[in-house]
């Protein structure tokens, strides 16, 4: 008896898997085209802002979605030029996070493959920070990429206001730390997530990874591995934008250095000036704050922390969805009892 793929081919009398592959890709393409056809034809534009490091002006994402029949294009013309900070994203990365946003809203249940991309084009002008030319620093591409999802949602919401969630507390944040743990050198990174935006289906989830999917590190494991102590890791009450469905809460993390020797810590701050925006009358989520020993700081340069120093990170909650007046009374009471609002 033949086994595996040869057994399958023999059973169905197929020469190879090419026709089978074409069929699978074709089915997904058909489903994606049908989903695009359900969007009214037109041009939908939105501007999304990102905190920058080296100037006082924000980076601008200009997103233009053009829907014609069963095809859709996303163009980032008019976005900021590439910059000298690492806040640049190569086109492949920009495209991936943009098409991801489309997939989530348009066809989340259809098997994902090349067929989903056939009716979609994603472009960004060369030399922009969403399609930079060599040489450009791209270390913080993840931060930029996460905002691409927000930018596409913000434009798509003009076409599909009842299907597109509010902005989430993107991007993912991390403490990158290194130094000495007693006589042993250490280097580690730990991650934190803000709140999910309010959705047509309900409140945003608090402290949930989106659009990436990165878990936290258990405090009990971290404290064994690095000379730090987590003093607080809690939901941040009131951080979710109000709405019929409020944004998920962001979180507050307080961490103390317990090492006798200095620890170098980097954190890319974002959302110090531009909160996650609400949708359909929902309020914006909260702004981010970073404090070192009680003093507010920006996170563009590494910190050199010594024993007893405490760094606090307050991550934004998501934007709200729909007008707060429409919120169900029982949800208001529940938030009150749970001290979430």
Residues making contact with other proteins (CB under 8 A): 1, 3, 27-28, 30-31, 103-105, 108-110, 112, 165, 191-193, 199-202, 205-210, 213-216, 218-221, 223-224, 229-235, 251, 254, 337-340
Nearer to other proteins (CB atom), residue 6 or residue 213: 213
Nearer to other proteins (CB atom), residue 3 or residue 16: 3
Report the nearest approach of other proteins to the CB of residue 68 (Å). 23
Distance CA 163, CA 106 (A): 9
Length of the chain: 341
Q: Which of 312, 135, 128 is nearest to 232 (CA)?
A: 312
Nearer to other proteins (CB atom), residue 130 or residue 196: 196
Q: Which of 74, 282, 85, 301 is nearest to 176 (CA)?
A: 301
Nearer to other proteins (CB atom), residue 57 or residue 337: 337
Report the nearest approach of other proteins to the CB of residue 85 (Å). 27
Report the nearest approach of other proteins to the CB of residue 21 (Å). 15
Q: Which of 244, 248, 245, 228 is nearest to 236 (CA)?
A: 248
Nearer to other proteins (CB atom), residue 221 or residue 326: 221
Helical segments of the chain, H only: 4-12, 18-37, 91-106, 141-159, 219-225, 329-337
Beta bridge partners of 123: 75
Q: Which of 173, 192, 263 is nearest to 226 (CA)?
A: 263
Beta bridge partners of 71: 68
Report the nearest approach of other proteins to the CB of residue 201 (Å). 4
Report the nearest approach of other proteins to the CB of residue 232 (Å). 4
């Amino acid at each position: 008896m033949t086994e595996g793929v040869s057994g399958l081919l023999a059973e169905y009398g197929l020469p190879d898997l090419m026709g089978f592959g074409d069929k699978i890709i074709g089915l997904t393409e058909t489903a994606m085209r049908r989903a695009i056809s359900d969007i009214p034809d037109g041009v939908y534009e939105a501007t999304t802002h990102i905190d920058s490091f080296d100037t006082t002006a924000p980076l601008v994402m200009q997103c233009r979605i053009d829907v014609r029949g069963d095809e859709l294009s996303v163009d980032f013309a008019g976005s900021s030029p590439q910059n000298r900070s690492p806040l640049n994203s190569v086109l492949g990365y920009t495209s991936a996070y943009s098409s991801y946003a489309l997939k989530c809203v348009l066809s989340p249940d259809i098997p994902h493959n090349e067929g989903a991309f056939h009716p979609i084009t994603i472009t960004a002008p060369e030399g922009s920070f969403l399609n930079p030319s060599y040489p450009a620093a791209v270390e913080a591409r993840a931060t930029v990429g996460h905002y691409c999802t927000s930018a596409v949602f913000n434009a798509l919401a003009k076409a599909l206001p009842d299907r597109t969630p509010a902005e989430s507390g993107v991007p993912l944040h991390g403490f990158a730390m290194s130094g000495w743990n007693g006589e042993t050198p250490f280097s580690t990174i730990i991650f934190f997530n803000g709140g999910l935006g309010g959705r047509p289906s309900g409140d945003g989830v608090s402290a949930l990874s989106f659009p990436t999917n990165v878990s936290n590190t258990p405090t009990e494991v971290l404290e064994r591995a690095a000379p730090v102590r987590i003093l607080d890791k809690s939901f941040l009450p009131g951080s979710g934008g109000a709405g019929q469905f409020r944004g998920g809460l962001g979180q507050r993390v307080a961490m103390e250095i317990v090492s006798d020797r200095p620890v170098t810590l980097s954190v890319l701050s974002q959302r110090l000036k531009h909160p996650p925006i609400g949708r359909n009358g929902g309020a914006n989520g909260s702004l981010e704050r970073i404090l070192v020993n009680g003093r507010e700081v920006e996170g563009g340069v590494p910190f050199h922390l010594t024993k007893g120093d405490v760094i606090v990170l307050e991550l934004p909650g998501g934007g709200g969805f729909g007008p707060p007046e429409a919120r169900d009374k029982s949800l208001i009471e529940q938030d009150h009892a749970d001290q979430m609002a």
